[in-house]
Amino acid sequence: MPCLMVLLALCVPRVVIVLLWLFTHWFSGIFHIALWPVLGFLFLPTTLLWYTAVQHWWGGQWSLIPIIGIVIALLIDLSPASGRRRAYGR
Number of residues that make up the chain: 90
C-alpha 19/C-alpha 11 separation (Å) is 14
Express as a percent the part of the chain with pLDDT over 90: 33
pLDDT in the model for residue 64: 96
DSSP readout, 9-70? HHH-HHHHHHHHHHHS-TTTTT-SSTHHHHHHHHH-HHHHHHHHHHHHHSTT---HHHHHHH
Asked if residues 46 and 13 have their Cβ atoms less than 8 Å apart, the reply is: yes
Express as a percent the part of the chain with pLDDT over 70: 86
Q: How wide is the angle at C-alpha 46 spanned by C-alphas 66 and 9, nearest 5°?
A: 105
For 10-52, the pLDDT digits (tens) are: 778 888 889 888 998 888 888 888 888 888 888 999 999 999 9
pLDDT in the model for residue 7: 76
HSE, side-chain direction, 13 A CA sphere, residue 90: 4
pTM here is 0.77
